[in-house]
Structure 1
Amino acid sequence: MFNLGNLGIGGIGLHVIVAIFFAVHAVRTHQNMYWLLLLFIFPGLGSIVYFFAIYLPGLRQTRGARAAGRAFKQIVDPNRAVREARDAFDRAPTVDHRMRLGAALLDAGNAPEALEHYQAAANGPFATDPALLEGLARAQLAMGRHAEAQATLERLFAAHPQAASQSDPSLMYARTLAALGAPGTREAFERALTNASDVAARCLFAEWLAKQPEAADRERARALFTEIVHDARHWPRHAREHNREWLQRAQAALGQ
């Protein structure tokens, strides 16, 4: 009878290959030496113990694993975050719970209801709270209410000047000005590029530049798209997953 336990490569059993894999992991992650002894003296049993004691818990802590877990939960129970946030708000309708519900609704694609909650919160004593204003601007932007989003972001920057140097608010402001065709769009994108924590700003700036009449702008757009595609070759897995949309858009712009 065919037995996976007897499968070998060059005479080495599968259980030994698995033990070697875990031994390499133990060395790279600086585990105690007794794990190596266990893996080599009892490769089958040692691999099982190592998997559950060391490898699996460590895997769960990686950024990619956490992202995969969130994606899995979204598939299995896509309304869980909204349901839990709504339950919390129903029990205690505080500003924090309203903001949590607004964020969950936005993530779920329900921008109209999210906007209602953010607007209600913005009329209270926390009207200048930075997280509230940023969430309100996100909802307004998602609804295509760009002039309102511009006003909200300018309120945010006036009350909290440091927000103008943060990745998400500065990029939202550039996108808002671009949608309005407003003066200062180029400068806003340049600031967003300086503040960027991922490649979204680079890609969106390149897309805006590609629509400008000057040949120099279109050349810079192509250079930015090329940078994204080139840099992607060196991204770790979690960065590639996080920036997948922008990479695809850059590749499409270059005709790849």
Structure 2
Amino acid sequence: MPYFFGIGLHVFVAIFFAVHAMRNNQGIYWLFILFAFPLLGSVVYFFAIYLPSLRHTRGARVATQAITQFVDPNRALREARANFDRAPTVQHRMRLGEALLDAGDPREALEHFQTAANGPFANDAALLLGLARSQFALGEYTAADATLANLFSVDPRARNQGIPALLYARTLAALSAPGARAAFEQALTCANDVAPRCLFADWLATQPDEADRRRASALYAEIVQDARHWTRLAREHNREWLQRAQTALASGAARS
């Protein structure tokens, strides 16, 4: 019985890889290899095709970044600074600015983005986003608002992208601008994590309307409920927001 089960398992694995081969336009010869030699063919396909393809998925990239950050947290900044010192191009300056932001140094990051913004790349979308992120991190909300307005002017698609949409909502909230609510709602529609939900809930919890505080509580509860079904990677990525939601629910801040 185990013998026949083993044969069946090999065939199922071969079928799985055959489907992968067909969906990814691999050569038809892989089908022959997989079904003529189910065990050996599957092993070869796994290492030759399937495993390398995983490196290009978003989950694999996030996992790789998380591991790198844990093992060598200063690697990205160190490499970005070395590249800039070797060749101080605008691209290397922008990469250094982003690395400085991720490392928690918005002051130096702002200097690099401002310098880059004075050149021919002044209307580059990535540069404007980095500049706005730096300004927001330093509490320069009016400047961040102006930079984001420029970004949306040169690249209207940025309004529907997660990072700039959320940054815009947070900026309007910090300025107590009337468009903050609509901006948070927009950020929710293009989010790829739970940060917009948690930050919107934080903002709603501070509003005088009881309906807003009830919605804040509901958003916190959604985060906690959804977390029960997260993968380990998703839980690690959203740890801060989950903890904030749990704390808010435990303290009853959203209902007070």
Report the TM-score when normalising by structure 2.
0.75
- Counterpart check, 1:168 vs 2:163: yes
Deviation at 1:152, TM superposition (A): 0.5
Equivalent in the alignment of 1:113: 108
1:175-194 to structure 2, matched below 5 A, reads 175-194=170-189
Partner Cα separation in structure 1 for residue 189 and residue 62 of structure 2: 26
Deviation at 1:190, TM superposition (A): 1.3
- What is the root-mean-square deviation in Å for CA atoms of aligned residues? 3.5
- 1:64–1:237 Cα contact (<8 Å) kept: no
2:222 to 201, 212, 227: 227
Equivalent in the alignment of 1:244: 239
Could you say if the C-alpha distance between residues 56 and 131 of structure 1 is closer, same or farther in structure 2, counting changes exceeding 3 Å?
A: closer
Equivalent in the alignment of 1:94: 89
Partner Cα separation in structure 2 for residue 205 and residue 161 of structure 1: 23
- Counterpart check, 1:138 vs 2:116: no
Deviation at 1:196, TM superposition (A): 1.6
**AA in 1 matched with 2:175:** L
Secondary structure at the aligned position of 1:148 is classed as helix
Question: Which runs of 5 or more structure 2 residues have no equivalent in the other structure?
Answer: 1-12, 22-29, 39-43, 252-256
Could you say if the C-alpha distance between residues 125 and 54 of structure 1 is closer, same or farther in structure 2, counting changes exceeding 3 Å?
A: closer
Could you say if the C-alpha distance between residues 146 and 52 of structure 1 is closer, same or farther in structure 2, counting changes exceeding 3 Å?
A: same
- Counterpart check, 1:213 vs 2:213: no
Equivalent in the alignment of 1:254: 249
**AA in 2 matched with 1:202:** R
Higher radius of gyration, 1 or 2:
1
Could you say if the C-alpha distance between residues 51 and 124 of structure 1 is closer, same or farther in structure 2, counting changes exceeding 3 Å?
A: closer
- Counterpart check, 1:104 vs 2:99: yes
- 1:63–1:238 Cα contact (<8 Å) kept: no
Could you say if the C-alpha distance between residues 207 and 29 of structure 1 is closer, same or farther in structure 2, counting changes exceeding 3 Å?
A: same
Partner Cα separation in structure 2 for residue 88 and residue 51 of structure 1: 35
**AA in 2 matched with 1:184:** G
237-246 or 114-123, which deviates more: 237-246
**AA in 1 matched with 2:116:** A
- 2:63–2:233 Cα contact (<8 Å) kept: no
Deviation at 1:144, TM superposition (A): 1.4
**AA in 2 matched with 1:175:** R
Partner Cα separation in structure 2 for residue 192 and residue 100 of structure 1: 25
Could you say if the C-alpha distance between residues 61 and 191 of structure 1 is closer, same or farther in structure 2, counting changes exceeding 3 Å?
A: closer
Partner Cα separation in structure 2 for residue 163 and residue 245 of structure 1: 25
Question: Which runs of 5 or more structure 1 residues have no equivalent in the other structure?
Answer: 1-21, 40-48
- 2:97–2:113 Cα contact (<8 Å) kept: yes
1:121-160 to structure 2, matched below 5 A, reads 121-160=116-155
Deviation at 1:73, TM superposition (A): 2.8
- 1:232–1:247 Cα contact (<8 Å) kept: yes
Identical-residue share of aligned pairs (%): 66
Deviation at 1:96, TM superposition (A): 0.8
- Counterpart check, 1:78 vs 2:67: no
* Number of equivalences: 243
Could you say if the C-alpha distance between residues 26 and 129 of structure 1 is closer, same or farther in structure 2, counting changes exceeding 3 Å?
A: closer
Could you say if the C-alpha distance between residues 54 and 151 of structure 1 is closer, same or farther in structure 2, counting changes exceeding 3 Å?
A: closer
Deviation at 1:238, TM superposition (A): 2.5
- 1:138–1:149 Cα contact (<8 Å) kept: yes
- Moved >3 Å (runs of 4+): 25-35, 49-69
**AA in 2 matched with 1:123:** N
Deviation at 1:135, TM superposition (A): 0.6
Report the TM-score when normalising by structure 1.
0.75
Deviation at 1:50, TM superposition (A): 11
Secondary structure at the aligned position of 1:255 is classed as helix
Secondary structure at the aligned position of 1:96 is classed as helix
